[in-house]
Structure 1
Amino acid sequence: MFIGRKAELNFLEERYESQNGELVVLYGRRRVGKTETLRKFCENKPHVFFACTESPDEQQLTAFSERLLQKGLPVAQYIKRFSDWKLALASILELPNDQKKLLIIDEFPYMVKGNNAIPSILQNLWDEKLKDQNVMIILCGSSMSFIEKEILAEKNPLYGRATGILKMNEMSFYDAIQFVPNYSVFDKITAYAILGGIPHYLKQFDDTLPLALNIERRILTRGSILYSEVEFLMHQELRETATYNVIIEAVALGNTKLNDIHQKTQIEKTKLSVYLKNLMDLGIVTREFPVADGIKAHANIHRGLYQIADQFFRFWYAFVFPNLSELEAGDAKGIWKFVIEPELERHTSYVFEAICRQYLRLKNQKEMLPFHFTKIGRWWNKTDELDIMATDPKKRAFLLGECKYKNSDCTLSDYKNMKEKFTLAGSDQKIYYWLFSKNGFSEELVKIAIEQDVTLVTADNIVKEVGNL
Structure 2
Amino acid sequence: MLTGRIEEQKILARKMSSGEAELIAVYGRRRVGKTFLIRTYCKDRIIFEVTGIHEASFKDQLQNFSLALQAAMKSKVPIATPENWIKAFHMLDQCLDDLPKNKSAVLFFDEFPWLHTQRSGFLQAFEHWWNSSASKKEHLKVIICGSAASWMIDQVINNKGGLHNRVTQTIRLLPFTLAETEQYLISRGIRLSHYLILQLYMAMGGIPHYLKGIQKGESVAQVIDRLCFTKDGLLKGEFKNLYQSLFTNSHHHETVIRALAKKGKGLTRNEIIAECGLSSGGTTTKILKELEESGFIAPYIPFEKTEKESIYKLSDEYSLFYLRFIEHAKATGAGTWIRQSTTASYTIWSGFAFESVCQKHVLQIKRALGIEGVLTEVSGWRYMPPKAKKGAQIDLLLDRQDKVINLCEMKFANGEFVIDKKYAEELENKISVFRSETKTKSAIFPTMITTYGVKINDYYRDIVQGEIVMGDLFK
Please state which band the TM-score falls in when normalised by the shorter chain: 0.7 to 0.9
Query: 2:314 touches 2:320 (CA, 8 Å); kept in 1?
Result: yes
Call closer, same or farther: CA 1:115–1:21 in 2, change over 3 Å: farther
Residues 421/7 of structure 1: CA separation in 2 closer, same or farther (3 Å cut): farther
2:231 aligned residue: 222
Deviation, structure 1 residue 18: 0.8
Structure 2: 5+ residue stretches without partners = 385-390
The corresponding residue for 2:107 is 103
Q: Please give the alpha-carbon distance, in whole angstroms, between the structure 2 residues aligned to 1:445 and 1:37.
A: 51
Give secondary structure in 1 for the equivalent of 2:16: helix
| Corresponding residue to 1:67 among 51, 56, 71 | 71
**1:136 partnered with 2:148:** no
1:174 aligned to which of 168, 173, 179: 179
Match of 1:86 among 86, 89, 101: 89
Which sits farther off after the overlay, 348-357 or 404-413?
A: 404-413
Partner of 2:28: 28
Once superposed, what is the RMSD of the aligned Cα atoms? 3.5
CA contact (8 A) 1:89 1:122 kept: no
Shift in Å, 1:310:
1.0
Work out whether residues 82 and 88 of structure 1, in 8 Å CA contact, stay in contact via their aligned partners in 2.
Answer: no
Matched with 1:253 is: 262
Cα gap change, 1:457 to 1:57, in 2 (>3 Å): closer
Which amino acid is the alignment partner of residue 160 of structure 1? N
Residues 116, 293 of structure 1: alpha-carbon distance in 2 compared, 3 angstrom cutoff: farther
Q: How much does 1:209 deviate?
A: 1.0
* Deviates most, 408-417 or 151-160: 408-417
Q: What does residue 455 of structure 2 align with? A: 442
Distance in 2 (alpha carbons) for counterparts of 1:93 and 1:409: 66
Distance 1:2 1:233, change over 3 A: same
Query: Does the C-alpha gap of structure 1 residues 257 and 461 become closer, same or farther in structure 2, counting only changes over 3 Å?
Result: closer
Q: State how 1:118-197 maps to structure 2 within 5 Å.
A: 118-132=122-136, 133-180=138-185, 181-197=190-206
How far, CA to CA, are the matches of 1:147 and 1:268 in structure 2?
Answer: 24
Distance 1:358 1:52 in 2: 31
Change (3 A) 1:373 1:307: same
Q: Secondary structure at the match of 1:237?
A: coil
Distance 1:18 1:400 in 2: 45
Whichever residue aligns with residue 437 of structure 1, its letter is: T
- Aligned residue-pair number: 443
SS of the residue corresponding to residue 236 of structure 2 reads helix
In structure 2, distance between residues paired with 1:370 and 1:418: 26
1:355 matches 2:357? yes
Q: Which amino acid aligns with 1:226?
A: L
Partner of 2:301: 289
Work out whether residues 408 and 449 of structure 2, in 8 Å CA contact, stay in contact via their aligned partners in 1. yes
2:412 aligned with 1:405: yes
Q: Give the 3 Å change call, closer, same or farther, for CA 370–177 of structure 1 in structure 2.
A: closer
Structure 1 or 2: more helix by fraction: 1
State the TM-score, normalized to the length of structure 2. 0.81
The 3 A distance-change label for structure 1 pair 421 and 408 is farther
Q: Which runs of 5+ in 1 are unaligned?
A: 71-75
2:319 equivalent to 1:313: yes
Q: Does the Cα contact within 8 Å between 2:105 and 2:140 map onto a contact in 1?
A: yes
Query: For the structure 1 residues 364 and 98, does the alpha-carbon distance in structure 2 shift closer, same or farther, using more than 3 Å as the test?
Result: farther
Change (3 A) 1:183 1:60: same
Opposite residue 391 of structure 1, the aligned amino acid is: D
Relative to the length of structure 1, the TM-score reads 0.81
Moved over 6 A (4+): 76-79
How far apart in 2 are the matches of 1:459 and 1:102? 41
Amino acid at match of 2:352: Y
Any idea what the Cα deviations from partners look like across 1:5-36, whole Å, max 9, x if unmatched?
Answer: 22222211111111211011112221111011
- Given that 2:50 and 2:64 are in contact with CA atoms closer than 8 Å, whether structure 1 keeps it comes out as no
User: Given the superposition, is the C-alpha separation of residues 462 and 286 from structure 1 closer, same or farther in structure 2, using an over 3 Å criterion?
Assistant: closer
Write the deviation string for residues 206-263 of structure 1: whole angstroms up to 9, x where unpaired: 2521211221111111122210111122332345555654543332122743576667
Query: Is it true that 1:387 corresponds to 2:395 in the alignment?
Result: yes
Paired with 2:418 and 2:369, the residues of 1 have a C-alpha distance of: 27
Counterpart CA distance in 2 for 1:281 and 1:332 is 35
Q: Distance in 1 between matches of 2:209 and 2:151?
A: 22
1:59: Cα distance to partner?
0.7
User: C-alpha separation between the residues in 1 aligned to 2:368 and 2:131?
Assistant: 41
Choose 5-14 or 123-132, whichever is displaced more. Answer: 123-132
1:73 alignment partner in structure 2: none
> Which residue number corresponds to residue 469 of structure 2?
458
CA 1:442/1:252 → structure 2, altered by over 3 Å: closer, same or farther? Answer: same
